[in-house]
Structure 1
Amino acid sequence: MLNEFLLNLLFILVGIFLQHLWSEKTGHHQNKIVIGIASAITITLCIPFPLESSFVEDLKLIPYIIGGLYGGIVTSTILFIVIVVVFTFFYGVTDTYITFLIMYGVLGLVCGFMSPTFLNSNISKKLETMVYVTIVFTIFLFVFTNKEEIITIHTIMMLFSPTVAIFVVGYIFESIRETISLRQKIIKTEKSEVVSQLAASVSHEVRNPLTVTRGFLQLVLESDTIEKEKRDEYIKLAIDELDTASNIINDYLTFAKPAPAYWELLDIGIHLKHIEDIIFSYANMNSVVIESDLVTCVIQGNKQQFQQCFLNITKNCIEAMPDGGTLNIYTSILNKHVLIEISDTGIGMSQEQINRIGEPYFSTKEKGTGLGMMVVFSIIKGMKGSISIESKQGVGTKFTIKFPIAVPR
């Protein structure tokens, strides 16, 4: 009997977990149709494995009670039909068949009509209801189906076993439901937090091209000796940066309905040289010298995101050298990957600070938001790359970014 009891209990628990797994995937944890289907399948599995020498044929009453209480009168009616059909198929019409129909019919009606009040109760009240219904039904089942050959020890066990079983099953059922509900609330909270972070991030990202634009315009305004060709180049770069700011704002406005990023082949040498030209004025304003050694290599990615990523890194490096210094941009090829090393001779970071780089709102700058590096990590990951950071306080910091090569050199 113990083997069949445990097998019945296993069917019930597996049914509950599968139901909640589906609920977690879809977000509908109170779907009565799913509860009904799961209960019907569990009942069908329990009936062919009866408990020997017991007035309780099997544990089908547990999914039947749970299905009725959570699903309502319609679900109870459907489950009653399932019980009758499956039981008749396996055992036919027995001596206690009419009693069986009446008892399970009444049980279904009771659970169905109790459902609205039950669903509005707290967990402890729900468990009490399930336990009371089960123990009353089990006693009635014993009274009306008692036979002389029933073994006493089995009778005592079966008077309490269904009650204990439904308490355990009900507790697990409610715990999982509560966990799913709590997780959905957390997801909603996180979405609100993401909107807040995104707004701050957009502000941060727009500030970059505006800062560069200001630098170029300041150079044009304050210097009367700049050649016309150079002046036109600065103005063109300023306009390009304004376009970049506009694109970032457009991305924010279309965030609610994001489209897949457009990927293209990017020449590392060309794009890093373009970034070097963009940050030149900002580096000049901060007494920073730029040294670079760039190779020609093609990777796959998004042009705007690539530019945004490395503008963030180089800008942070420049700002880490308040008394001036050297910004190095070095690229090399290693095992079908391109390595991009960006280093500065700035204030450096501790190991604890390095470990927290990329976290929202963590920054080594007084007025920093930390969102710039968070965006950097996200873009590099999206382009199937990796990033590592080495730093020593008072010496400087080196960022090593690795991307797979799209077209062999």
Structure 2
Amino acid sequence: MEIVFSRKHGEVMSVVVKDLLVNFLFVLLPLFIVQMFYLLKYTKQLEHLKDWIVMIFPVLSMILCMAFPAHIYEGFVIDFRRIPFILGILYGGYRFGFFLMALMLVIRSFSGGAGFHVALIIYPLLTILLSVLAKHYLQMAVKQRILLNVVLIPLLEAIFFIMVTKLLNINVPVYIQLSIVAINMGAMLIVMILWESVRKILDLLQALVKAEKLEVVSHLAASISHEVRNPLTVSRGFMQLLHEDIPANKRTDYLNIAVRELDRAVEIISDYLTYAKPEAKGSEQIDVYKEIHHAVKVITPLANMNTVQIDLQKLNHENVCVLGERKLFEQCLMNIFKNGVEAMPHGGTLEISLVYYYSTIQINIRDTGEGMTEKQIQRLGEPYFTTKEKGTGLGMMVSFNIINRMNGKMSVSSEQGKGTCFSIELPVVYK
């Protein structure tokens, strides 16, 4: 509130309610702008916004409030410029505080009037006081910060009216003084609650960004562990078979398979690109029939342990190829075969078939396990979603990603109590 020109005593506050509401909107508007930009920074991952965006609130609010004040009594105008001024210094520090003070005095000088001399005394002193408080302000609890700001308002208004009375010889009626104090206190309380809410949201967004980064690291660690476990389990199974009395040629085959799976584990650890955007690698033509047979050969020990029969009667020997990375395709098949076997802990049949449609080829992998509900099917491929007691859900996520990278698609059909069928459809390439 400042003195700018004389008016008749009879005019009262009822005529300025609309102007005060508009003025209060000028205080709230920058708050929403600040929140909007921080949300933009979070969603678009933009950098270098945080250092300057907080300046929008006090600067824009002060300019708008001083440009459109509410005329109230005897040449006085009331606005809410002190709210952004106080908050700007307490949250922005003393350097920003002196900038706000200079800006306010420059704008106020253009309005003229005797009240400028009062502002020239009050605001430098207020800036120094708030700069001292700003050093400890952010360490206070939220309730303490709100209480401090609400208490500052009546103290500042009391000092202002004392100076107006002593320096300008103008006596403002008590009911006008109390009305101004009440309006400013109410406005400060509302703004503080909103501002602290915005700050809390922004802190949560920053914490969420950190949590997402940690989650990615967690996914990578868990997925590497999950994918390496498969070849190590296979290698261990074939090595255990070497203790049995088997022909020499079988021993050589088992050793070759075990070494090959250990090599695959090493490659997964050193060059794991499934979850991140992979670097471009040279694709190759993959013989689907041969890769299915290799994956079946690898999974057979696990199937035998679970008394699961692998049915290849419908696996037609189609001499067709698809384009992709062979090792990742093997990884995908192994994940699905392993899930099918583990879905039948009490035994069953894993049926693998191959259907050729000239331009595409379809691999069908059907088990006779417990099956899944429609809701569970829709969630397949999500990290950490699994129907297994000790599963992570990462194997299926890997498989979906691999098929997508090969420009294919994977669909799932299931019926509870009867089993599940995974259908992989891939475009055919010709040699």
Shorter-normalised TM-score: what interval? 0.7 to 0.9
Structure-2 change in CA distance of 1:115 and 1:204 (3 Å): same
Structure 1 range deviating more: 14-23 or 133-142: 14-23
- C-alpha deviation, 1:99, in angstroms: 0.8
Offset at 1:111? 1.4
Partner of 1:315: 338
Please tell me whether the aligned partners of residues 295 and 331 of structure 1 are also in contact (alpha carbons under 8 angstroms). Answer: no
Q: 1:370 to 1:260 in 2, by over 3 A?
A: closer
TM-score, with length taken from structure 1? 0.77
Task: State the Cα deviation string for residues 223-259 of structure 1 (Å, max 9, x = none).
Answer: 427589xx56x6555433222201222246x99xx77
- Equivalent-residue separation in structure 2 for 1:368 and 1:164 (angstroms): 56
The counterpart of 1:180, out of the listed 193, 202, 207, is: 202
| TM-score normalised by structure 2 residue count | 0.73
**Distance verdict in 2 for CA 1:397–1:246, change over 3 Å:** same
Percent of aligned pairs with the same amino acid: 34
Matched to 2:229, the amino acid is R
In the alignment, residue 372 of structure 2 is paired with which amino acid?
A: M
| 1:117 CA drift (Å) | 2.2
Aligned to 1:84: 105
Matched, 1:131 2:155: no
1:221-240 matched pairs, under 5 angstroms: 223-224=246-247, 226=249, 236-240=256-260
In structure 2, the gaps of 5 or more residues are 1-18
CA distance, structure 1, for counterparts of residue 105 and residue 121 of structure 2: 11
Residue 372 of structure 1 corresponds to which residue in structure 2?
A: 395
Output the CA distance in 1 between the equivalents of 2:156 and 2:122: 8
How far off is 1:222 after superposition?
5.6
Q: Give per-residue Cα distances to partners, 1:278-326, cap 9 Å, x unaligned.
A: 3324236343123435684656x65544432332112111232452413
Tell me, what secondary structure is at the counterpart of 2:67? coil
User: Counterpart in 1 of 2:262?
Assistant: 242
Aligned partner of 1:399 in structure 2 is 422
Contact preservation (8 Å) 1:212, 1:241: yes
Q: Secondary structure at the match of 1:47?
A: helix
Deviations 1:16-56 (A, max 9, x none): 42464477557999x67543454224323433222233645
The alignment partner of 2:54 has SS state of: helix
Is the counterpart of residue 65 in structure 1 residue 93 in structure 2? no
**Which segment is superposed worse, 34-43 or 168-177?**
34-43
CA contact (8 A) 1:387 1:401 kept: yes
Query: Can you list the C-alpha shifts for 1:171-223, whole angstroms capped at 9, x where unaligned?
Result: 12112222332444455456556555544432221121223334556678764
1:371 CA displacement: 3.4
Matched with 1:8 is: 26
User: Does residue 51 of structure 1 match 2:51?
Assistant: no
Q: C-alpha displacement at 1:125, in angstroms?
A: 0.5
Cα contact 2:91–2:138 (8 A) shared by 1: yes
Shift of 1:360: 5.4
Which has more radius of gyration?
A: 2
Letter in 2 for 1:397: T
Describe the SS at the equivalent of 1:53.
strand
1:292 matched to 2:309? The reply is no
Counterpart CA distance in 2 for 1:302 and 1:41 is: 57
- Equivalent AA in structure 2 for residue 390 of structure 1: S
Gap regions ≥5 residues in structure 1: none
Say what the alpha-carbon RMSD is for the aligned residues.
4.3
Partner in structure 1 of residue 235 of structure 2: 213
- C-alpha distance in 2 between matches for 1:56 and 1:173: 25
- Structure 1 distance, partners of 2:360, 2:58, is 54
1:270 corresponds, among 258, 273, 287, to 287
Instruction: State the shift of 1:163 in Å.
Output: 1.9
Match of 1:328 in 2: 352
Report the alpha carbon displacement of residue 12 of structure 1 after superposing the two structures with TM: 3.4
- The Cα of 1:138 is off from its aligned counterpart by 3.2
Distance 1:35 1:248, change over 3 A: same
SS of 2:107's partner is helix
For residue 144 of structure 1, report the CA deviation from its aligned partner: 4.5
